[in-house]
Amino acid sequence: MNRDWIATARTLSQALPYLQRYEGAIVVVKFGGHAMGDDEAMQVFARDIVLMRQVGVNPVIVHGGGPMINEMLDKLQIKSEFVNGKRVTDAATVEVVEMVLSGRVNKRIVQAINQEGGRGVGLSGKDAKLMICEPDNPELGLVGTPVEMDTTILHAMFAADIIPVIAPLGMGRNGETFNINGDTAAGAIAGALKADRLLLLTDVAGVKNAEGEVVTELRAAQIRQMTKDGVIAGGMIPKTETALDAIERGVRAVVILDGRAPNATLLELFTEHGAGSLIRGD
């Protein structure tokens, strides 16, 4: 008998406790980075998400789309201003953001999931009042922070065997559209759902210590200390802040992992060694 076949069978057998462990669990996945711009990586990701749903997990996909937004703004010759490295989102810009996120990006992910046999449905935080926002910083214009969450629509989708794919847009109290950071949106949704896991897919292997080694498991206090010491810096800071905020809202654990690795989400959920950096509360 082929050794590869035996190894595959052994892997499936070893996955049984984890399949049982996550049956019925809610797992929010923030999808972004390299995998979004690569057709093959998108297909692999979609197949993994459909497999998760097939074995009883309730996955929720929250996606970004910064590079695609930049590309469209350039085409339309809409210039952006920045405050402390963050894009000022005016009325013209938010129209482009909504067009790209809710249209091009969202439907591409939905299509990939449906092609793999799943039942993906796209929506944004504006739908069914999923995310009501207030301005994050008045200087940034229509950049929002979720302040009220209504996950009724998501639970209805779970019951109907549907995989929600959510664009990070929200609605203001006066009907305005707000652009939301993708990680922030994913954390808010995971917290409102009291998700078992929030998986933040990035283009790095995980949280690294002072020696540059990936730390596979961390507590919230360690994250705070590493940030204070400057070990966690740059783009990893907002991701770890999202993780800590989600845990405070009731998410059981957050994993920061490399979305470039094939089958990263399956490795994390259904194998003993997992993938990336697992963050728990104190």
Instruction: Give the residue ranges of the annotated binding site for substrate.
Output: 65-66, 87, 179
Count the helices and strands in the chain (H runs, E runs).
11, 14
User: In whole angstroms, what separates CA 169 from the centre of its chain?
Assistant: 14
Alpha helices in 116-164 (DSSP H): 152-159
Q: Are 69 and 32 in contact (CB under 8 A)?
A: no
Q: Which two tokens stand for residue 210?
A: 């002072």
Q: Which phi and psi angles does 153 have, rounded to 5°?
A: -65, -35
d(CA 259, CA 281): 23
Binding site per annotation, positions: 65-66, 87, 179
d(CA 24, CA 134): 33
Angle formed at CA 82 by CA 77 and CA 84, multiple of 5 degrees: 165
How long is the chain?
Answer: 282
For residue 130, count other CB atoms closer than 10 A to its CB: 26
DSSP, collapsed to helix, strand or coil, labels residue 98 as: helix
Do strands 86-87 and 82-83 pair parallel, antiparallel, or not at all (unpaired)? antiparallel
DSSP, collapsed to helix, strand or coil, labels residue 52 as: helix
With both helix axes pointing from N to C terminus, report the angle between 236-248 and 182-193 in degrees, rounded to the nearest 10: 20
User: In whole angstroms, what separates CA 276 from the centre of its chain?
Assistant: 14
